[in-house]
Amino acid sequence: MRKPYASDISREKFEEIVPVLQSVRKRTKPTRVDLYEVFCAVLYLLRTGCQWRMLPRDCPKWRTVHSYFAKWSDPDQDGISALEWA
């Protein structure tokens, strides 16, 4: 269990937006990472402005966070990304 950061959202609020975030992902393999932790790492990065490689060690690996961020930031056919919906 990691320490909470000021940029984190509650698990309850995350449960409201997780369907939007999961809709972006192709379902070829089961998820091996906690999407809540990935989303909180993205929020931390956006809030602090740190570099990808400077994410705290208790966050998921920076490459994993970056990969999900890229998927969630990609606009759909209407030009809206999953992060904008969330």
Q: Can you give the pLDDT at residue 33?
A: 93
Q: What angle do CA 2, 4, 10 make, to 5 degrees?
A: 115
User: Does 22 map to a domain?
Assistant: no
43: domain range?
33-86
User: Does 14 map to a domain?
Assistant: no
Q: pTM for this one? A: 0.91
Burial of 16 (0-12, 13-18, 19+ CB in 10 A): exposed
37 touches 59 (CB < 8 A) = yes
Please give the structure tokens belonging to residue 32.
Answer: 């091996």
User: Does 77 map to a domain?
Assistant: yes
Q: Can you give the pLDDT at residue 54?
A: 96
- Overall number of domains in the chain: 1
Q: Can you give the pLDDT at residue 77?
A: 87
Output the tens digit of pLDDT for each of the chain's 86 residues: 788 999 999 999 999 999 999 988 777 788 889 999 999 999 999 999 999 999 999 999 999 999 999 999 999 888 899 988 87
